[in-house]
Chains A and B, each alone.
Chain A
C-alpha cells in the first residue's frame, strides 16, 4: 500500500527527525496552526462578513489590507500542517500515506481547502474582487460577491470543524 510515488513524497525524513528528536516540535506546530487559523479568519473571515453586510461602514478596499495577514495565517497552517503529515510517523508511527488514504476527515479537510481555493479563484475571475474594492462605506456588495463570501465562510468553518476531528480517526 505504501509502495508508490505519493507514499514516497509524503514521507519527509527531516520532519520525522524533527518530531522524533524534539518533543516541543509537535506542540509548537499545534500553536502555529491555531494562530494561523485565527489570522486566516481575522483576514479572510472579517472581509467575507463585511461583504455579507456586517460592519458596512468599513470600506472593503481598506479592510482588504487584512487579507495578506489571512494569507500569512494560511501559510502558517500549511507549514505546520505539512510537518503534521510529513512527520506523523515520528509521532504516532503511522505512515502519512496510510493516514491520507484512510482518514476521512483529513480527506474532507483537503477537499474543503481546495474548494475554498476555487471559490477564491472565482471571486477574482468573475471580477468581484475588483468590484468590491471600489465599493465605498455603506455600499452593498453585489449578490455574486455575497455568494462567494458566504461560501468562503462556510468552507473555512468546515475546514476547522473537520480539522479538529482528524486526530480522532488516527
Chain B
C-alpha cells in the first residue's frame, strides 16, 4: 500500500489527476475508450461471422485487423495503467475494478487464441469454421461483456452495482432474445443477396 500511495502522490500522477489540461486525466480517459473500440469493433464482426449473422463473410482476411486490435489493446492498457495510478489505493480495494481487469485480460487472451486457432488458419476455414470457434468466441464475448460492464460500474456503490447488473442482464437477455427470434424468422443472418462465395480452399 505504501508503494501505491507513493505512486499516487508522485508529481507526474498528481499533475495528471488534478490538471485541467487536455493532456491530463481526460486524455487518458478518452484514449481508454478509443483503444477499446479499436479492439472490440473487429471482434464484434468476427463474432457476427461465427454466429452466422453474416454467414458468408470470409473470416481469414480479418487477420489483417490483428495489428489494429493489438494497438487498441495497448492503448487501453497503457491509458488504463495511468488512470489506475491516479487512485491505486482505492482501485485495489474495489472488487468491481478487479473483476473488470481480470475479465479484460481473460477476454483478450481468449480473443487472441481465437485469432490464432481460427482466423490465422487461412482461407481453408472460410466456408467451414473449426468446431471450437463458437465456444472460443462465446467465452471471449462473455468476458468482454463482463469487463466492459464492470468498467462502467467501477465508480458506483455496491447497491447500485447489484441493481445495474440485474438491469443489464435483463437488457442483454432481451437483445439476445430478439436476435435469436430474428434469426429463426429469417430476418437476421442468411446469405448475402447476389454474392457468390468462392469454394473452400481456393481463397477469396
* Chain A residues in the interface with B (C-beta under 8 A): 22-25, 27-28, 30-32, 34-35, 37-43, 45-46, 49, 54-59, 61-63, 65-66, 69, 137, 157, 160-165, 168
Contacts and interface: CB of A to CB of B under 8 A. Distances in A.
18 contacts: A23-B159, A24-B160, A24-B164, A27-B153, A41-B41, A42-B48, A45-B37, A45-B41, A46-B45, A55-B61, A56-B61, A58-B58, A59-B58, A65-B53, A65-B54, A137-B61, A160-B30, A164-B26
Contacts of B151: 34
Interface stretch (B5-13, B62-70, B86-94, B109-117): B62-70
Interface of B: 25-26, 29-30, 33-34, 36-38, 40-45, 48, 53-54, 56-58, 60-65, 68, 148-149, 151-153, 156, 159-161, 163-164, 166-168, 171, 192, 194-195, 198, 203-204
> For chain A, what secondary structure do more than half of its interface residues adopt (helix, strand, loop), or is it mixed?
helix
A104 B166 CA distance: 35
A28 B29 CA distance: 19
> For chain B, what secondary structure do more than half of its interface residues adopt (helix, strand, loop), or is it mixed?
helix
B44 A39 contact: yes
A65 B45 CA distance: 10
A28 B164 contact: yes
A137 B204 contact: yes
B164 A38 contact: no
Contacts of A45: 37-38, 41
A153 B144 CA distance: 23
B57 A65 contact: yes
A25 to B, nearest CB: 8
B45 to A, nearest CB: 5
Contact of A27 (B30, B53, B56, B156): B156
B116 to A, nearest CB: 17
B4 to A, nearest CB: 25
A59 B54 CA distance: 12
Given A57-B204, A61-B194, A34 B148 contact: yes
